[in-house]
Chain A
Amino acid sequence: MTSPDQTLAVITTFLGRADKSAADLSSATGLYGDGLELDSLEAAELSAMLEDEFGTDPFSSGDELPQTVGDILAFYEVPATA
């Protein structure tokens, strides 16, 4: 299981590379539109960074695309084993 801090660290690194501010980042921050304003390429890059780091990523898992930072955190917080 990945801690929210580890996940947030990847998101923060990604935002730095993408020249976007990581200030005011919270679970409620939206990924697109009014939030971080990720376009599809940026979402693809974040998705690839998360996969490189953790082996899986919420964008390509086949379910709904994550909409908020909280959705990404929640994807990794689900315990891997019961």
Chain B
Amino acid sequence: MSTQPAAHYDRVHEAWTLIMGEEFHYGYFADPATPLDEATAALTSEMLELAGIGEGDRVLDIGCGTGRQSCDLAEQLGARVLGITTSASGVAAASALARSRGVEARFEQRDGTANGLPDGAFDVVWALESSHLMRDRAGLLSESARVLAPEGRLVLCDIIRKREIPFLEVRDRRDDFAVLRAAFGDAHMEPLSVYASLLEELGMTVVEATDISVPTLPTFAAWRANVTAHSATLLGLLGEQGVADFVRSTHVLEEFWSDGTLGYGILAAVKSPL
């Protein structure tokens, strides 16, 4: 039945809400004891500070998830927001959220690496934790630069790779990597420096590129605490294996954060004036 993917999506969505809270991304912890919802909001605040979004600004939210941030940007800042995602159920959920909140944000199913939107149509391009799902990073960044108006800003944060991982190490640790893929999808991490040099090649000026691995590290412990707190419900939603894989993935990530393999970065770049 065609409702099956949507049902699966709903289950995963409900599980992730229990584990991660209302915002499906990492937290920025001023202190490891900060509650997770404050920390996820703080990461969004870091992005907001760099984005400098004003009333009436045209914002493109690439990888808009379920539309929470697009709606917030429209409602709280008066921005005109278009949220895009490759997920049809994401578009449906985000549109429903905007309707239920009475917010004027639009959502369309589009690929961030070939968005088909007109040149120069946005003041801000916003990509919160979505770029790692786009293998064609150069495509994502060149499309972002193309749709920005002169002096427009790109703000982005995401998981980053902090060193080369030699083939034989990937092979040895393939079970760990496979656990990450099962939990988070087909992710491809790049160093902050790769983003920065691709953007400079596109003629953009990188005004911020900061490693925030340390303040994002407590995210994993916070997710695990929520798994424990909601274990009965989560077992029903994800099954025993699903829960075990998720918990294992948080340990793998924590290890990668601690040994300097992976981490988290935030970056802003400005398109030159005409």
Q: Do A and B come from one complex?
A: yes
**B-binding residues in A (CB < 8 A):** 37, 39-41, 43-45, 47-48, 59-60, 65
Q: How far is the CA of A43 from the CA of B135 in the complex (A)?
A: 16
Main SS of chain A's interface residues? helix
Specify which chain B residues have a CB less than 8 angstroms from the CB of A43 in the assembled complex: 167, 170
B24 in contact (CB, < 8 A): no
Name the 3 nearest CB pairs between A and B, nearest first: A44-B171, A44-B170, A44-B174
Contact at B178–A40, with CB atoms within 8 Å? no
Task: Provide the residues of chain B in CB contact with A40, threshold 8 Å.
Answer: 165, 167, 170
Chain A residues closer than 8 Å to B171, beta-carbon distance? 44, 47-48, 59-60
- Shortest Cβ gap from A1 to chain B (Å): 24
Contact B188 A39 (CB under 8 A): yes
The minimal Cβ–Cβ distance linking A67 to chain B, given in whole angstroms, is 13
**Could you give 7 example pairs across A and B, Cβ below 8 Å?**
A44-B174, A44-B177, A47-B171, A48-B171, A60-B167, A60-B168, A60-B171
**Given A41-B170, A43-B167, 16 extra CB contacts under 8 A:** A39-B135, A39-B188, A40-B165, A40-B170, A41-B174, A41-B177, A41-B178, A43-B170, A44-B167, A44-B170, A44-B177, A45-B174, A48-B171, A59-B167, A60-B167, A60-B171
Encoded as 1 (CB less than 8 Å from any A CB) or 0, chain B from 144 to 183 comes to 0000000000000000000001011011001001100100
Q: Give Cα A41 to B188, complex, Å.
A: 10
Interface residues on B, range: 10 to 19
Chain A residue with Cβ nearest B176: A41
- From B177, which residue of chain A is reached at the shortest CB distance? A41
Q: With A and B bound together, what is the CA distance between A8 and B194 in angstroms? A: 36
Q: Which residues of B contact A59 (CB under 8 A)?
A: 167, 171
A59 to B168, CA, bound (A): 9
Per-residue CB contact flags for chain B residues 231-251 toward chain A (1 = under 8 Å, else 0) read 000000000000000000000
Residue of A nearest to B164 (CB): A40
- Chain A residues within 8 Å of B174, by CB: 41, 44-45, 48
Cα–Cα, bound, A10→B181 (Å): 22
Q: Are B181 and A41 in contact (CB under 8 A)?
A: yes
User: Which of B167, B171, B177, B178 is the most central at the interface, judged by chain A CB atoms within 10 Å of its CB?
Assistant: B171
Return B9 CB to nearest CB of chain A, in Å.
18
Tell me the minimal C-beta distance from A82 to chain B in angstroms. 29
A53 vs B174: C-alpha distance when bound (angstroms): 17
Bound together, the chains give a CA A47 to CA B172 distance in angstroms of 11
CA–CA, A6 and B84, complex, Å: 44
